[in-house]
Each structure stands twice: as structure tokens, then as C-alpha cells.
Amino acid sequence: MYVDVKTPLNLVFTARINGEIFEDDFKIALDKIQQKHPLLRVSIDDTTKKYPFFVEEKEMASIPIRIVERTSDEDWLLESEKEWYRIFEDNKKPMAQIVWVKGATISEILWVLPHCICDGTTGVTLMRELLALLDDVSLELNPYKDFDSVNDFLPTDFNFKKKKRKARFYLLIAKLFFLMQSKNSNTNQGKNYALHRKLDVTVSKKIVEKCKANGISVHALLCSAFMQAFKEIQGKKAKGKVISPVDVRHFIPEIKQDYIFAFAPTVELLLDKDNNDLLSNAKHIKKDLIQKIKKMQVRELLWMGENMHSVVNSMVSVLKSSRGSHDVTLSNMGKINIRGGYKNFTLETIFSPTVAFPWLNSNTLVTTTYNEQMDFTFMSNENFLSKEEAIKIKNKAIELFIS
């Protein structure tokens, strides 16, 4: 997710509020948030050692705010797309930015952070803390100590000798794989874009009820619907596979819900290509997901990752030039736990995060639910998937999803 010093890869998380907020309160709130979270006080050193690493800056500047005049309900999405290309290159400034799309009564607040320091849960945490402090700047947040290394997560009986042999084996396999892939020169040269859709309460409830009645999860139905949509729109070009990130906090309780963290283990979920029944495929996906999550050794995955730094450049090169074996990366963040009522404003809604991956296959779907409304953002690149075709896929998937 770091890629390199010249490549932006930012996550943008947006909330819409109705009411009055003040710039001075923003500054107080952001200083308190910055003092709580260590990763909001670091820079990335990519010159001192062989591989890049975080360095805490003793004299770090405050989190900046960019204020934009609000002219329409779509401004947040336009500003979000602009922030995809922000590069956090000044070591004395934090790897975080606030954009305030400011209207007379309605405003959008955008958190912008590099994906290498945050995941979707981080965005929820930071938005929750910011809104609470904008409502009452006297609130205090409890700082925590950052982790020193992946060794902090290892069990006491971790067999380093055995695992190092395993790591060397996987490293050798990875080097051979990337060596075979290195001749591909395709890269994305097109324009990144984001599509957005929010379902109303009635439709969103209907989907949840359908899932309960059929013994499936909303996530499984989402995967089934979008893979089926790719199949119907793209035909033989469709892969019938979804990559789905999972919140690392489910596996490592030391990483608290309100900690900033950036590692997300993933699972691959497959569509039964000979079966066009949406619910049947959803049941299959749910079963497959449960089994794969049970088998996950996330602490070991973290440790193994630290032994793979020497192939990261090759990995990035392949991601930038390979069409991949999946249709879409689908991140379902579920219900967003942020209260709606405050003294001087209300939280109207949450928009699913946006992100522009620099990979050739940049198809990404993020979903959230807030106030019983499901929300979707679908991102890709014109060079890989035309916007017109993406609209067809999105519309077909939602049609299948809500039917």
C-alpha cells in the first residue's frame, strides 16, 4: 500500500452533516486526535535503510484543513477524486488531510490518509472522534503506544526456526513467480473514476430481510450479485472471483477498534460458473468464507510479510501490469457505528470510502450501511474498465441484489 515515494494511494472517508461547525474547533479537535494516534505523527524514511519504515517526528505540524465552498450534493465526490492524487511528501507534516466542503447549513467532511497507515475501520474511528470533538472540544482522548514490530503480535510458542524456513521457501516461490511475470509492460494510463449509489431505507431493509430469510449474509449476497453482474455484462471475460479484505482486529485483539492500523488479510471467493442462481451462489460463498476465515493464521501472515520486503518492488510491478484473476476487490464495512445526534449539528449520512489503486486491475467496490441505508462506491480506471461498462455492471448488480 506504500508503493513508492512518488505514487499516491489514499483512502478518503466522507461524512455529511447538517448544522454549524467552526474552524477553530476543527483545529482543537484535530490536535487532540493527532496526540492520541502515533501514526499521525510519523513520516516515512525510505533512504536510511534498505526498506521504508515509519519514523516519529518530534516537531510534527498540525493536521491541515482545506476549505472548499459547497455548491452541490456531488462536490464531496469531486473533492474525493482530487485527493486521490495528494502526495504526503513533507516529513514535517502529518500523513493526514481534512477537506471541509463548507455550505450554509450542509457540509461534508473528508478524512484523507495514505492507505499504508490506515484501513476502513481507521476512517470510521477518526470520523467518530472528530465529530464528537467538534460537538464538545473539552473531551479528552486516551493516547496509546504504537507497536514496535510484528513480533509484538506473536504467541509465546512461535517457532522462529521453523517459520523462517517456511518464509524462505515462500520467498523463493515469490521470486520465481515475479521473475516469470516481469516481461508484461501493460500499465493503466486512463482516468480513475468513482461511481456512487445510496439505497433508501425501505430497499436496504428488504435486502437484510431477504438475507435472514435465506440464511445468507449480506456480504455473500453482495459478492454473488456483483460476480453475476460481471458475468452477464462481460461474458467470457469475467473471472468469477472476488477478493475480500477482512478487518485484522477480528484476529488480533491487541489491535483495538480505535487504533489506526493498515493490514487487511484477504480471502478469495469464487462464483460457481455453472450456476446462475443468485441465492445458491450466495450460500456457497458464505460457507466458503467462513471456512477460509477459520483457517487464517493472521499473526503468522503479518510476520511472514515482514520477510517479503525484497520482493515488494516486483510485486508492485506485477500489480501495475497484470489483469489479475479477479473481477473486483470488495470491501464490505457493514454498519457504521457513529451516533447521529449532536448539540449543534446532525450526522446526515456516511459515504463509503473511495480509493484509486494504481494497479492495472483497479476494480474496487466499498459498501457501508448507516441509518439503515446501504451505500456503494465503485472505483476503477478507464484504461482497464470503461466507465460506461462499469455503470452497466453496477446497475445490474444492484438490480440482482434488490430483486
Residue 183 has pLDDT above 60, yes or no: no
pLDDT in tens, 84-140: 999 999 999 999 999 999 999 999 999 999 999 999 999 999 999 999 999 999 999
Closest CA to 382 of 390, 374, 392, 394: 390
Mean pLDDT of 286-297: 93
pTM of the model: 0.94
* Helix (H), strand (E), coil (C) string for the chain: CCCCCCCCCEEEEEEEEEECCCHHHHHHHHHHHHHHCHHHHEEEECCCCCCCEEEECCCCCCCCEEEEECCCCCHHHHHHHHHCCCCCCCCCCCCCEEEEEECCCEEEEEEEEECCCCCHHHHHHHHHHHHHHHHCCCCCCCCCCCCCCHHHHCCCCCCHHHHHHHHHHHHHHHHHHHHHHCCCCCCCCCCEEEEEEECCHHHHHHHHHHHHHCCCCHHHHHHHHHHHHHHHHHHHHCCCEEEEECCHHHCCCCCCCCCCCCCCCEEEEECCCCCCCHHHHHHHHHHHHHHHHHHCCHHHHHHHHHCCHHHHHHHHHHHHHCCCCCCEEEEEEEECCCCCECCCEEEEEEEEEEECCCCCCCCEEEEEEECCEEEEEEEEECCCCCHHHHHHHHHHHHHHHHC
End-to-end CA distance of the chain: 36
258 — pLDDT class (breaks 50, 70, 90): very high
Say what the pLDDT of residue 270 is: 94
Residue 182 has pLDDT above 70, yes or no: no
Residue 228 clears pLDDT 90, i.e. is over it: yes
pLDDT band at 179 (very low <50, low <70, confident <90, very high): confident
> Smallest Cα–Cα separation from 375: which of 122, 11, 10, 15?
15
- Average pLDDT value for residue range 32-53: 95
158/142: higher pLDDT? 142
Q: Round to whole Å and give the CA distance between 214 and 234.
A: 28
Q: Greater confidence, 129 or 174?
A: 129
Domains identified in the chain and CATH numbers: 10-135 (3.30.559.10), 191-335+356-402 (3.30.559.30)
Between these two residues, 176 and 85, which has the higher pLDDT value?
Answer: 85
**223 pLDDT higher than 90:** yes
The percentage of residues in the chain with a pLDDT greater than 90, rounded to a whole number, is 80
15 with 351: CB under 8 angstroms? yes
Q: Give the mean pLDDT of 9-16.
A: 98
Place 155 in a pLDDT band, splitting at 50, 70 and 90: confident
Average pLDDT, stretch 258-270?
Answer: 94
What kind and span of H or E run contains 115? none
pLDDT score recorded for residue 55:
94
Please report the pLDDT score of residue 158 as a whole number. Answer: 87
Identify which has the larger pLDDT, 110 or 184: 110
pLDDT tens-place string over residues 357-368: 999 999 999 999
Is 105 strand, coil or helix? Answer: coil
Question: pLDDT category, 185, cuts 50, 70, 90?
Answer: low
pLDDT surpasses 80 at 188: no
pLDDT at 24 over 90: yes
180: pLDDT strictly greater than 90? no
Model pLDDT for residues 240-250, shown as the tens digit of each residue: 999 999 999 99
Q: What is the pLDDT of residue 107?
A: 98
Query: What pLDDT score was predicted for residue 162?
Result: 87
